Amino acid sequence: MTESVTITDNRTGQSVEVPIVDGAVSAAEWAKLLPGIWFYDPGLGTTAECESAITYIDGEAGILRYRGYPIEQLAEGSTYLEVAYLLLNGELPVRAELDRFTEEIRQHTFIHENMRKRFFDGFHYDAHPMGMLVSSVAALSTFYPEAKRIDEPETRRRQAVRLIAKVPTLAAAAHRFSIGKPFVYPDVSLSFAENFLSMMWRGAEPRFEADPALVRAIEVLFILHADHEQNCSTTTMRVVGSAHADPYSACAAAIAALYGPRHGGANEAVLRMLTSIGSLDAVPEFVRSVKEGHGRLQGFGHRVYKNYDPRAKIIREVAYDVFEVTGKNPLLDIALKLEEVALADEYFSSRRLYPNVDFYSGLIYQALGFPVELFPVLFAIPRTSGWLAHWSEMLEKNTRIARPRQVYTGQDERPYVPLAERG
Ligand code: SDX
């Protein structure tokens, strides 16, 4: 059996045999045979927008690998900065490389004093932290005009380091603004995760001391959220980057996409859903309402995973480690019951709807004391390294500007009607 498909234009009888390469067929061959005839693929669910060597997902089998390394092994043995290095460079760092990368990140965690002193004060008192993060990351582009030189590998690398380092600082600054507390400067003596917790929670004490189990939980959650191939926000990063916009502007666009409740806003929606269910007894009624079309089971379902999201399994284990320290989140029992009822229900199994990365992560974030509004921000922090890895890969391949076609369903030509003559 030849690995190919044959496309025949029945209007002319012309055919072309197109090889199936790496699970895809080239649209260019289609375009040659059928100029002006487009593939109609809303949501791009069956379209490969690029070639990428960064992350591999097998949705049927529930497999996720970063640069070939299984997510389970990285969650077990790696750190977030090591994973960020892996995503950006394609290989795990040796000790000297990791130390140099870690030191660079540490030195770039500071933001310009103009941002610290003035930028956040411009927001309304109850501004959503994701709105503040989108805006402040976009504003970073005005501090680093060199970032427009996207064709220079070293300049790209330097902006990637700045963004990975500064997004946590901006995230913590947004939170501190929301609660009326003073900005906490980065503490370069701490690890990436410890420093983030210090900027979030430090009070009057000279140095923030975090519980090691909670620090490890943050590291694992950051590893699990670092990349996920061509999701909505990463595709946004690639599309905006293909116009040769600077990486800060492209990253702000990606954060805006992640702000959507269908994507990064889901863990916030899961908490609100569990809170509204309120008790174990109310779970069956809630499931019934979802099946009748009243809203969705937040944290369930995925465009790619038609099996259990491997990240959800790991996060559920991390939850128990966190609750050992913080005490169990009372919503956990409702979540476990909801999962049990849904997985046993034909409505969800027939649609191959399983818990995704967001189903349990919010329970951990809430137990760690993060406000619900900050949950998508906690998603954006680690996903910054994934977005930048894809952005660099896209530019290294000299990708054309993204410009899809459309199926036009509007009016045919019609003459303009002056205002005075309209009914
Ligand atoms: C993330 O792409 C990524 O990789 C994303 C992400 C990442 O790491 O970047 O993994 C992070 O975004 C995870 C997903 C977080 N979102 C949610 O949990 C929100 C709830 N889930 C959905 O709204 C939905 O499942 C999506 C958006 C995640 C996926 O939507 P699809 O693939 O477009 O699914 P669909 O709309 O085609 O649904 C197919 C059927 C429909 O029913 P029918 O019309 O066939 O009767 O399944 C139903 C849907 O109504 N359905 C759900 C459901 N999700 C889909 N029904 C109830 N509850 C749900 N959650």
Mutational test site, ligand 1, from 270, 296, 348, 379, max ligand atoms within 8 Å of CB: 296
- Nearest CA, atom 27, ligand 1: 262
| Cβ–Cβ under 8 Å, residues 338 and 90 | no
Contacts of residue 235, defined as CB under 8 A and 6 or more positions apart, other chains included, come to 44, 49, 257
Asked if residue 356 has its Cβ within 6 Å of ligand 1, the reply is: yes
Domain boundary (340, 367, 394) is at 367
- Is 256 among the domain residues? no
- Is 82 among the domain residues? no
In the sheet with 55-58, reading across from the earlier edge strand, the strands are 55-58, 63-66, 69-70
Whether 41 sits among the annotated catalytic residues: the reply is no
- Is 152 among the domain residues? no
Lowest-confidence region among 50-59, 141-150, 162-171, 326-335: 326-335
Average pLDDT, whole number, for the chain?
95
Asked if residue 357 has its Cβ within 6 Å of ligand 1, the reply is: yes
Model confidence at 271, pLDDT cuts 50, 70, 90, reads: very high
How far apart are the C-alpha atoms of 38 and 305, rounded to whole Å?
A: 27
Domain boundary (319, 343, 367) is at 367
Per residue in 75-90, pLDDT tens?
Answer: 999 999 999 999 999 9
Domain containing 333 equals 266-367
Instruction: Name the active-site residue from 263, 321, 333, 345.
Output: 263
- Nearest CA, atom 12, ligand 1: 263
Q: What CA–CA distances, in Å, run from 336 to 283, 330, 339, 340?
A: 10, 11, 5, 6
Whether 58 sits among the annotated catalytic residues: the reply is no
Model confidence at 370, pLDDT cuts 50, 70, 90, reads: very high
Q: Is the pLDDT of residue 138 over 90?
A: yes
What b/e readout covers 337-361, taking b as 16+ CB neighbours within 10 angstroms?
A: bbbebbeebeebeeeebbbbbbbbb
- Is 31 among the domain residues? yes
- Nearest CA, atom 56, ligand 1: 296
- Is 332 among the domain residues? yes
- Nearest CA, atom 37, ligand 1: 303
Average pLDDT, stretch 296-308?
Answer: 91
* Total structural domains within the chain: 2
**Rounded distance from Cα 308 to ligand 1 centre (Å):** 13
pLDDT of residue 1: 72
DSSP notation for 224-264: HTS--SS-HHHHHHHHHHHTT--HHHHHHHHHHHHTSTTTT
- Is 216 among the domain residues? no
Q: Is the pLDDT of residue 70 over 90?
A: yes
Asked if residue 301 has its Cβ within 6 Å of ligand 1, the reply is: yes
Asked if residue 303 has its Cβ within 6 Å of ligand 1, the reply is: yes
DSSP tag of 57: E
Q: Is the pLDDT of residue 416 over 80?
A: yes
Domain CATH code at residue 280? 1.10.230.10
Determine which helix (DSSP H) or strand (DSSP E) holds 275, and give its type and residue range. helix 266-277
Write down the pTM of the prediction.
Answer: 0.94
Asked if residue 351 has its Cβ within 6 Å of ligand 1, the reply is: yes
Model confidence at 117, pLDDT cuts 50, 70, 90, reads: confident
**Rounded distance from Cα 421 to ligand 1 centre (Å):** 48
pLDDT of residue 2: 83
- Is 283 among the domain residues? yes
Q: What CA–CA distances, in Å, run from 29 to 5, 51, 360?
A: 11, 17, 44
**Rounded distance from Cα 300 to ligand 1 centre (Å):** 7
- Nearest CA, atom 55, ligand 1: 301
Whether 263 sits among the annotated catalytic residues: the reply is yes
Domain boundary (330, 352, 367) is at 367
- Is 121 among the domain residues? no
Q: Two tokens at 405?
A: 């076609």
Nearest ligand 1 atom, CA 309: 10
- Nearest CA, atom 8, ligand 1: 228
Nearest ligand 1 atom, CA 301: 25
